[in-house]
Amino acid sequence: MGTALLTRRNAIRLSAVCSVLGTLVITSAGLAPGAAASDGVQSKQWYLDAMHADEMWKHSTGKGVKVAVIDTGVNPQTSSLKGQVLVDEVPKAAKYHVTQDYDGHGTTMAEIIAGTGAGGGIKGLAPGARIIPIRVGLDELKDANERARSLTSAKAIRAAADSDAKIINMSYGSVYYNGDEEDALKYAASKGKLLFSSIGNSGDAGNKPDYPAKDPYAIGVSAVDKTGTVGKLSTFGNYVDMSAPGLNVPAWCDNAFTRYCTTEGTSHASAIASASAALVWSAHPDWTANQVLRSLIDTAGRTWPKGKPSKYLGYGLMRPRMVLADKNFDPGPADRDPLAAENGTAPDEDITATKSPAASPTAKTPAKDTGSSSGPASAAAKDADSGDSTQTWVIIGAVAAVLVIAGAGFAVMRARRNA
């Protein structure tokens, strides 16, 4: 595999029609040329072993759960996505060219979530789930008419909310706040959806917070490497809710779909978070979004009190296996938002739906028209106390935690304060 990094287009703007949102960034960073799709790309998916995917798939593959991927479009003809993309279920207002991925990014996110791995392609963490593609218009679209017909982030979120998707993945962000986008997120939450968003890739470059991750009801996800260390690029602050793998993972190099590259970014972390939720929701279809999210928060790997989330890893490293392994897991109340404090609401003002959204495979609902200051860089080094090369110190600001990949899979072993 090549070692030279190719810089992905970092700042991608919405079209003039959508200019109120400002600069919108696809949250995948550097790309290194990789092997062809048939040349062992799954061996690069280290997070499948780390998260014990084979063990989880004995309990759940995400079957029956639909995930809306709001992105650059999704190519349903890659070997890994054939039969996985529900184009017929895209709301009418969002149907324009959804299967024409003009960058390759959206197709990568869809494969990370629900790819079958056929033909040597990316194997999704939730291969039994299905994808509803929703495309947003970015500056990569050179044709002005095509850009004008593409959706803004706010309209895309509303379209996803009006679909049968239970989960909405948003692997993009903007440093500019937009009221319509926030209203759309609240609308989606009121319909019982779970909304995952990449937290942003500016952790080592100004650390400017990204929207929609910073908005209420968006679950902001930071990225870690195979040691459980938060990435230097991962934006941090009090709006980080969860963390998931996102560094040194495969992705399509471009929209030619001829080879995969090695890449990093919080985009991938958000997609893995969405897939994790799909696994849990499939195993517990009667749970609400509140309960699915609470179960992931309660079982997250962390060394700090749950009531004091880290500004680097939020409530911790996502471990859906811990939920799936416990048949008697208590998800808590259906009608209480576990992120009520972060969302700025009191528990008795919770607007999230109290019933699990319908998952009818044939139902179609028309859409309404409508990632702080820089902190210390993360680092990993061999644990001098244990001498065990499978253990690493994870620098997360004030907390240094040992996370173990082998055996327990992201299991927290011990912690100590960093002076």
What DSSP state is assigned to residue 316? -
**What single-letter amino acid sits at 27?**
T
Residue closest to 311 by CA, chosen among 238, 224, 395 = 238
Q: Which of 60, 198, 234, 267 is catalytic?
A: 267
- For the CA atoms of 107, 108, 114, 119, what is the dihedral angle to 10 degrees? 90
How far apart, in Å, do the first and last CA atoms of the chain sit?
40
Cα separation, 48 vs 60, in Å, equals: 14
Instruction: For residue 317, list its beta bridge partners.
Output: 243, 301
Q: Which residues does residue 69 pair with via DSSP β-bridges, in sequence order?
A: 133, 169
Closest by alpha carbon to 193, among 165, 223, 230? Answer: 165
Measure the CA–CA gap between 301 and 242, rounded to whole angstroms.
10
Question: What is the chain's length?
Answer: 419
Q: Is 105 a catalytic residue?
A: yes
How far apart CA 258 and CA 48 sit, in angstroms, is 23
Catalytic (active site) residue 71 = yes
Find tokens 């998952």 and name the residue.
359
Q: In the 8-state DSSP scheme, what is residue 382?
A: B
- Per annotation, catalytic residue among 52, 105, 268, 284: 105
The answer to whether the CB of 173 falls within 8 A of the CB of 200 is: yes
User: Amino acid letter at 333?
Assistant: P
**66-71/167-170 β-pairing:** parallel
130-135 and 259-263: which strand pairing?
unpaired
For 226-331, strand residue ranges (E) read 242-245, 249-252, 259-263
Cα 82 from Cα 75, distance rounded (Å): 9
| DSSP H or E stretch at residue 106 | helix 105-114
Which ranges in 172-212 belong to alpha helices (H)? 179-190
Q: Which of 15, 60, 71, 80 is catalytic?
A: 71
Instruction: Determine whether 372 is an active site residue.
Output: no
Residues labelled as active-site residues: 71, 105, 267
